[in-house]
Amino acid sequence: MKQLLATGLLAATIAFAAPVLAQDTIRFAVTDIDGLEELQQNMGPFKDAFEAASGLKVEFFPVSGRTVAVEAMAADQVDFVLTGPAEYVVFNARLDAQPVVVWERPDYYSNLVVLDSSPVQTPADLKGQKISFGEIGSTSQHLGPVTILAEAGLTYSVDYEPVFLNRNVAVEALISGEIAAIGLNRTHIESITEKFPDQSFRVIASGEPLPSDLLVVSPTVSPEVVNLVRQTFVDHGPDLLAAVTSTEANAKFIGGGFTTNVDDTDYDLVRNMFANIGVTEFQEFVGE
């Protein structure tokens, strides 16, 4: 009887402890992919490769932007989010979300671009001009180009007029003379060069390399699960990268890799960039 009782108690203890120690499914979102269909199309190969390598199941959680993603994490609806550097700063400030794995983007830096025929030669020449940036708060399309201008002595919204136009619309405005320059990253320059083959563009200044995108985790996820996710990238990085870059939408990661030795302070550069647009608190996304 004593042996049976002891066995029963042990089984009950294990059954009670299992949900605390084990998590076989992780909920995963990407801030710049809108909707479940696009998420499955762009990240499906990665999901399959990660599940095979880790033994965990991945449950996609579609979001319609960065604000929905951070609110979903706050509501304990999502565990891991793949997001950009500027977005991470807000996740960390609001939720104490932590970096897990950096998804390296080769040649990730900001540029100021003009028409080749433009008289503008340096960022300082843009004083008094109208400049288009990408999405408000974007690391490479907004904060980075503004930082280039700040380093040239130009104050945001004082020495020039910032506008936010769709990329192709911005190029049209550049061609018509409505704006003087566009803030872009390298892959965007390749894109507009392909879409506007009759135009010649010139980079007047480039910024320093930017911190890359990263996988962040909710503080509610157990350390054991976080360590398993991190170790999976360590052990199976090449296979996971091949899966990620098998879809055209993830071409920005081609030639990159994964870095698990990451710390919150690695993103202080982004926090300093925010200061150039007058933002020093990070509880909300800029422009939302």
Q: Does one domain contain both 144 and 162? A: yes
Number of domains in the chain: 2
Domain with 44 in it: 2-106+211-275
The answer, yes or no, to whether residue 7 has pLDDT greater than 80, is: no
Choosing from 189, 206, 223, the residue where a domain stops is 206
Q: Is the pTM of this model over 0.85?
A: yes
Q: Stretch 154-173: mean pLDDT, rounded?
A: 97
Token couple for 8: 């029963």
Which of helix, strand or coil describes residue 120?
coil
Higher pLDDT pick, 15 / 149: 149
Q: Does one domain contain both 100 and 228? A: yes
Q: Give the pLDDT confidence score for residue 22 in this predicted structure.
A: 52
Q: Does one domain contain both 221 and 243? A: yes
In a domain, 71, yes or no: yes
Q: Does one domain contain both 182 and 42? A: no
In a domain, 56, yes or no: yes
Token look-up 């399959």 returns 48
Strands (E), the chain: 25-30, 57-60, 80-83, 98-103, 110-115, 130-133, 161-164, 181-185, 201-206, 213-217, 258-259
Q: Does one domain contain both 96 and 114? A: no
The mean of the pLDDT values for the chain is 92
**Domain CATH number, residue 84:** 3.40.190.10
Separation between Cα atoms, residue 216 and residue 80, nearest integer Å = 6
In a domain, 287, yes or no: no
Using CB atoms within 10 A of its CB, is residue 238 exposed (0-12), middle (13-18) or buried (19+)?
exposed
Choosing from 176, 206, 236, the residue where a domain stops is 206
The answer, yes or no, to whether residue 287 has pLDDT greater than 80, is: no
Choosing from 206, 223, 256, the residue where a domain stops is 206
Q: Does one domain contain both 143 and 194? A: yes
Token couple for 218: 């909710």
Token couple for 139: 């690391």
